[in-house]
Amino acid sequence: MNFEILEHPADIGFRAFGATVAELFENAAVAMLAIAQELEDVSPRMEYPLAASGTDYESLLVNWLNEVLYWSDGKQIALCGFQVNEISENAVAAIGLGEPRNAAHHRAKVIVKAVTYHQLKVMQTPEGWCAEVYLDI
């Protein structure tokens, strides 16, 4: 399993996993989008360049997810997958896979307003990488 949903009294969150930090960031973005929309409605027919920076993995993850959210909500791009090409503790460069959003075809689930630092965790485990993220909905 690449992610699981975490219940919270006021918000919603997820726990994402990855064998590498790059895979963790890919799976975290998919987890967030799975909360916001029906991913099976989206075809990965176009590539979109995404990038973010931060001072450590925690701030980088928040900035990365907010970049994905910007493309999803601000630029109206329905994304369904990601390929991280470069990552360090301070920067990530990736390709988002998807297509222009069509309200009649791409079903929304929950409006995600922002990614928060509330109870944010990014950790390396013996099995790989894990992150816990809560979203403002």
Strand pairing class (77-87; 3-7): unpaired
Confidence label for 53 from pLDDT (cuts 50, 70 and 90): very high
* pLDDT, mean of residues 58-76: 97
What pLDDT score does 23 carry?
Answer: 98
| pLDDT tens, residue by residue, 3-24 | 877 776 667 999 999 999 999 9
DSSP sequence for 6-57: EE-SSSEEEEEEESSHHHHHHHHHHHHHHHHB-GGG----EEEEEEEE-SSH
In degrees and rounded to multiples of 5, residue 44 shows phi and psi of -80, 55
Count the domains in the chain.
Answer: 1
Domain extent at residue 17: 3-136
Sequence length of the chain is 137
Q: What is the CATH number of the domain that holds 97?
A: 3.55.10.10
| pLDDT tens, residue by residue, 73-127 | 999 999 999 999 999 999 999 999 999 999 889 999 989 999 999 999 999 999 9
What pLDDT score does 120 carry?
Answer: 97
What pLDDT score does 106 carry?
Answer: 93
